[in-house]
Chains A and B, each alone.
Chain A
Amino acid sequence: MSELRWHPILEEWVITATHRQDRTFLPPDDYCPLCPTQPGAFPTEIPSGEYEIVTFENKFPSLQHPAPQPAVEGSDLYKVRPADGICEVVCYSSRHGGTLTDASLEEMENLIDVWTDRFRELGSKDFVDYVLIFENKGKDIGVTLTHPHGQIYAFPFIPPKIQRELDSALKHKDRTGNCLFCDVIDEEQRDGRRIIAENDSFVAMIPFFARYPYEVYIFSRKHHQTMLSFDDSEREDLAVILKAVLLKYDNLWDTSQPYMMIMHQAPMDGRDYGYYHYHIEFHPPHRTKVKLKYLAGCESGAGSFINDTVAEEKAAELREAAPRTTEQLRITSYELRITE
């Protein structure tokens, strides 16, 4: 059963996808479905041998095209519609071990090219309004496969958090004439205490308003709405700052840091979102090396976050974690990884 059910109280769509209950859950390394199929061995999701980057339709999708008709009948209050869309898996490498942090800068640039290509292609489909590129990393986040991979959801609607950002940005633009996100970047640069890494094209920070202790945002310096307008040097700079942030996370406690990485871009529904601004958000669940920040009653029940830390202190910790400069990263990207 797969459909969209309208939540009339929160005014948002809930995706019902009961078939996902049966998806593969933490298989042994020898039976990883994201490794290339080996001669004589069990068939994985990827039929041919070694690959660089592969993307494919998720076997257990939350959204699919064409979508089946809803199994339940809706009403004026309880609207239902088909869960039309596309869910893709992006395998970063045929190497089973390791994480995105282990990618070379060249591999990272390649991945950025693939993300751009998928964003363009999926966003051009008439049943798609929004393309979300994201990665859930680590068992603490609930990943079911450890092979390094991310996901892409092509939604038939604008997800509520993105819509809220769009509404805030438009309100700010109407009130001040400025881009909300550009103003955030300016304010953070003036203060400086919450910046953790920067280069010519991007700036990474734990912003003033962080809800998680180590919640990092990467903003493009130029007012881009999506990655489609990045030039070559910006794609290269994105690879560098992504690698720097990932290394800092892992080097912070000499561990492979779990996180949710979410790319926020303008919708692809054909409207003008010139007031929006490209950024990447990281939501790591840890508040210390051994303690998790749970989204408990106040956060899940009321939508109000309690951050047990202050962004200025946590940003200083990440800023001090290697690499301390993105220039340093270019010279010694392999040596800087001090875990495992």
Chain B
Amino acid sequence: MAMTKKKIVLEDGRYLIYYAFESKETPKQAGNAPAKCCDGKCCGGAK
């Protein structure tokens, strides 16, 4: 499973890192929501 990370700098100078993971069912990029809801594992069934 591939992990990607996207680092940004917040307004007050602190850093924040988004981590995303490419699974077989839901390819994603760091900092973005899944393109399509999966079987509930990504959102706890909220979507």
Contact = CB atoms under 8 A, between A and B. Distances in A.
Contacts of A107: 41
A47 interface: yes
A194 B8 CA distance: 46
A56 B33 contact: no
Interface string B7-20: 01010101111111
Given A47-B8, A49-B33, A110-B3, A95 B43 contact: yes
B44 A48 contact: no
A12 interface: no
A97 B21 CA distance: 21
Contacts of B31: 48, 51
B14 A110 contact: no
A52 B3 CA distance: 11
Contacts of A48: 18, 31-32
Contacts of A110: 1, 3, 19, 21
A104 interface: yes
Interface in B1-47: 1, 3, 5, 8, 10, 12, 14-21, 23, 28, 31-34, 41-44, 46
Contact of B17 (A49, A56, A59, A97): A56
B17 A52 contact: no
A114 B14 contact: no
Contacts of B33: 49-51
B2 to A, nearest CB: 10
Given A47-B10, A50-B33, A52-B28, A57 B15 contact: yes
B1 A54 contact: no
Nearest to B14: A57
Contact of B16 (A49, A55, A113, A117): A55
Interface in A44-98: 45-57, 59, 93, 95, 97-98
Given A47-B8, A95-B44, A113-B3, A52 B15 contact: no
Nearest to A36: B33
Given A54-B16, A110-B21, A114-B19, 6 more contacts: A52-B28, A52-B42, A54-B17, A107-B41, A109-B1, A110-B3
30 contacts: A45-B16, A47-B8, A47-B10, A48-B31, A49-B33, A51-B18, A51-B19, A52-B18, A52-B20, A52-B21, A54-B17, A54-B19, A55-B16, A56-B10, A56-B14, A56-B15, A56-B16, A56-B17, A57-B14, A95-B44, A95-B46, A102-B44, A107-B41, A110-B1, A110-B19, A110-B21, A113-B19, A114-B3, A114-B19, A117-B19
